């Protein structure tokens, strides 16, 4: 019999040729290899860098601060960073002074320090020990309104009233400043004080106090009325006003 006609054992073929891996097994092996290779990189990304330990700020303890407000001495336990505005409202309980912008832009917090008007939100309470502070509560004397307060009522110089305490304190100081010869940016000759306080002078000198209701014309009229009437704009308890 010819060799070509000899039958071959199927077992011999399988032994000579290794079996091909299935498509499923190949994909599983490739995915496992990719996962193992990427593991160190993923771990490096997920690790959070260790932050340095936060330094604990030591709180500054309060200390006694004595403020003379409307003729009365207040001894308050204040941290050095407490503003004069917060000291008046939160510690002394004088709520007439208003907190508007808390940035010195609206003038609602205006009070008088030794007769000089200041924004109480921009100054620290500890800076005013030994000074005489006047708030809106101190403008009246013995239950009688000051001339400026009466003029604001007569000329309807307020609407919501939120800015009115600052407006009153500012207007009160304005007349004292004018009487003492303090010039403004609209004063024609800073060497000579004008005989009369013009509306332009009043507007300029009150420009630091914002009235969101828009009662400016009536505010000017009230200030002019007190000036022309020659009334004392000092209020009750503070001789420096």
Average pLDDT for residues 117-136, to the nearest whole number?
A: 98
Res 117: pLDDT:
97
Average pLDDT for residues 134-140, to the nearest whole number?
A: 97
Among the residue ranges 16-20, 27-31, 156-160, the one predicted with the least confidence is 16-20
**DSSP letter string, the chain:** --GGGS---HHHHHHHSPPPPPHHHHHHHHHHHHHHHHHHHHHHHHPPPPPPPPPPPPPPPPEEEEEEETTEEEEEEE-TT-BHHHIIIIIS--TTS--SSSSSSS-TTEEEETTEEEEGGGSBGGGGTTSEEE-GGGSSBTTBPPHHHHHHHHTT--SS-SSHHHHHHHHHHHHHHHHTT---TT-S-TTS--SS--HHHHHHHTTTS--TT--HHHHHHHHHHHHHHT-----TT-TT-
Res 18: pLDDT:
60
Q: What are the tens digits of pLDDT across the range 190-225?
A: 888 777 899 999 999 999 999 999 999 999 999 999
Q: At 191, which CATH number? A: 1.10.150.120
Residue 240 lies in a domain: no
Last residue of a domain, one of 136, 163, 196: 136
Res 196: pLDDT:
82
Last residue of a domain, one of 107, 136, 165: 136
Read off the pLDDT band of 16 (50, 70, 90). Answer: low
Q: CB atoms < 10 A from the CB of 32, how many? A: 10
The mean pLDDT of the chain is 85
Average pLDDT for residues 3-24, to the nearest whole number?
A: 56
Read off the pLDDT band of 239 (50, 70, 90). Answer: very low
Domain of 76 in residue numbering reads as 63-136
CA 197, CA 45: separation in Å to the nearest integer? 72
Residue 43 lies in a domain: no
Residue 163 lies in a domain: yes
| 130 and 186 assigned to the same domain | no
Q: What are the tens digits of pLDDT across the range 64-76?
A: 999 999 999 999 9
Cβ-contact 63, 78 below 8 angstroms: yes
pTM, full prediction: 0.73
Query: Could you give phi then psi for residue 74, rounded to 5 degrees?
Result: -115, 120
Query: Could you give phi then psi for residue 150, rounded to 5 degrees?
Result: -65, -40
Read off the pLDDT band of 235 (50, 70, 90). Answer: very low
Q: How many domains does the chain have?
A: 2
């Amino acid at each position: 019999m010819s060799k070509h006609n000899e039958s071959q054992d199927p077992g011999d073929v399988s032994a000579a040729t290794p079996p091909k891996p299935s498509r499923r097994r190949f994909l599983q092996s490739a995915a496992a290899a990719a996962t193992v290779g990427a593991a160190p990189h993923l771990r490096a990304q997920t690790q959070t860098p260790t932050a340095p330990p936060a330094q604990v700020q030591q709180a500054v303890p309060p200390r006694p601060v004595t403020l003379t407000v409307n003729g009365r001495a207040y001894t308050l336990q204040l941290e050095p960073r407490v503003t004069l505005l917060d000291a008046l409202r939160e510690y002394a309980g004088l709520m007439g002074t208003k907190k508007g912008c808390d940035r010195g832009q609206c003038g609602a917090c205006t009070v008088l320090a030794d007769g000089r008007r200041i924004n109480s939100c921009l100054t620290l309470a500890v800076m005013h020990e030994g000074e005489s502070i006047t708030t809106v509560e101190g403008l009246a004397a013995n239950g009688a309104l000051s001339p400026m307060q009466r003029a604001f009522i007569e000329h309807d110089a307020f609407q919501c009233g939120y800015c009115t305490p600052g407006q009153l304190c500012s207007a009160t100081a304005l007349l004292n400043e004018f009487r003492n010869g303090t010039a403004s940016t609209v004063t024609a000759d800073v060497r000579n004080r004008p005989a009369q306080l013009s509306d332009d002078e009043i507007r300029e000198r009150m420009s630091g106090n914002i009235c969101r209701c828009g009662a400016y014309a009536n505010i000017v009229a009230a200030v002019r009325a007190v000036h022309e009437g020659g009334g004392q704009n000092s209020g009750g308890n503070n001789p420096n006003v």
